[in-house]
Amino acid sequence: MGASKRLEAGITRNDREMADGRTIRYYDTQGQARNIADQRPVEEQPGIGELRLDPLVNEWVVMAAHRQGRIFLPPKELCPLCATHADLLTEIPESDYEVVVFDNRSPSLRPPLGDWALPDLVGPDTDAGTSAGKCEVICFTADHGQSFKDLTPARVRVLIEAWQDRVRELSKESFIEHIAPFENRGEEIGVTLAHPHGQIYAYSYLPPRVEKMLKAASDFNSKTGKNLFDEVVAREIRDEERIVARNSEWIAFVPYAARYPFEIHVAPLKPVADLAELSVEQSDAFPEVALEVMKRLDGVFGIEMAYIAAWHQAPVRVGRDLLRLHWQITSVRRAPGKLKYLAGSESAMGAFIMDMKPEQSAGQLRDVKI
């Protein structure tokens, strides 16, 4: 038996140990017991990966060679994210579940053994480090055939509570500097498991894009005394034409300089640094806007859109007053049968070219009947 915990909105969390020592956390609304043990034979855990510095841009690259053999688009009967059933012992020992979060079986980042520190940056002479951090999987529902947009508001409420809980707990680890819960959806972007789920990457370093956001927010604050993201949201509200959804606590808009054919940022109207800081009112109001946005996205072409939906938040220890929580949803789908690819300009130079005006995609999203 593992720990049990009571969260907001009548949600409970029960922790259980998996056969190989990993932890699975059940987030439930009915106080379910969750006592079924993991019956699978114990497999050896992969080792920790390497962290190498790309000195040309001073960015860490994780070398996780052990991930090469991971499972790729299994048929539904063999889905490891479904609840355990007569034909298969899955990652989830129970025969049903609401939301679960468990430690990734092939993690890119893992908790370090003993003391840990990032190597000093000294250009090409920088030592290799170990890829400390933590990777978790979050399953949104036991129903293999659903998508985020098909979830009930009550289920999305459990989801945001689970995300908050994970951020609170992971933030306590001394080796974790930044936490990014995200969902990848669609074979077009390489999703290897069709079951509706997301991931939580907890990095031991500031990811390059976060570092850059922190620099921009810090420079802006030094110059103006204002918070950059708050000003961005204020401008979107003023411009109005790119807003796609809003309620009393949240606003969703296509950003003024979107880089993807469909890109939506969802932010709380009362700014917070991270998921852990969301009020109960904000969490309660999230499902409505989140579901509306996802329904609009799938409604544009009447097909399931490939997307990445990533929570951006302030890092665990730095920039707490500078960076703000928001959810960035980006889709490379330009049209049915057409994707935007990141080729020479975007990939090699980092220079994005958009073939579509953000006002146009915002209009298309607003026009969807939901």
Q: Which is nearer to a copy of itself, 118 or 216 (CB)?
A: 216
Listed residue (136, 149, 153, 143) closest to 195, CA to CA: 143
Rounded to a whole number of angstroms, the minimum distance from the CB of residue 35 to a copy of itself is 33
197 catalytic per annotation: yes
Task: For 200, list phi and psi in degrees, rounded to 5.
Answer: -125, 115
262 within 8 A of 336, measured Cβ to Cβ: no
The one-letter code for the residue type at 91 is E
Tell me which of 178, 197, 265, 326 is the catalytic residue.
197
x/- letters, 162..201, toward a copy of itself (CB under 8 A): ----------------x-x-xxx----xxx-------x-x
Judged by DSSP in three states, 261 sits in: coil
- Among positions 96-155, residues that touch a copy of itself (CB under 8 A) are 108, 123-125
Q: Which is nearer to a copy of itself, 16 or 178 (CB)?
A: 178
- Among positions 224-253, residues that touch a copy of itself (CB under 8 A) are 224, 228-229, 231-232, 234-235
- Among positions 281-300, residues that touch a copy of itself (CB under 8 A) are none
Rounded to a whole number of angstroms, the minimum distance from the CB of residue 4 to a copy of itself is 30
Q: What six digits make up the tokens of 65?
A: 């060679």
Crossing angle of the two packed helices 280-299 and 153-170, in degrees rounded to 10:
120
Rounded to a whole number of angstroms, the minimum distance from the CB of residue 68 to a copy of itself is 5
- Among positions 5-44, residues that touch a copy of itself (CB under 8 A) are none
- Is 349 a residue that touches a copy of itself (CB under 8 A)? yes
x/- letters, 303..322, toward a copy of itself (CB under 8 A): -----x-x-x----------
Judged by DSSP in three states, 45 sits in: coil
Strand order across the 4-6 sheet: 4-6, 12-17, 23-28, 99-103, 133-139, 197-203, 178-185, 307-312, 326-331, 262-268, 250-253, 243-246
- Is 339 a residue that touches a copy of itself (CB under 8 A)? yes
- Is 75 a residue that touches a copy of itself (CB under 8 A)? no
Q: Which is nearer to a copy of itself, 84 or 364 (CB)?
A: 364
Q: Give how far Cα 314 sits from Cα of 86, 167, 222, 256, 342, Å.
A: 44, 11, 17, 22, 27
Rounded to a whole number of angstroms, the minimum distance from the CB of residue 262 to a copy of itself is 14
Task: For 181, list phi and psi in degrees, rounded to 5.
Answer: -80, 130
Q: Which is nearer to a copy of itself, 220 or 301 (CB)?
A: 220
Alpha-carbon distance of 61 to 312, in angstroms, equals 20
The secondary structure element, H or E, covering residue 139 is strand 133-139
Stretch that binds a copy of itself, among 84-92, 144-152, 297-305, 344-352 (CB under 8 A): 344-352
Residues taking part in catalysis:
197
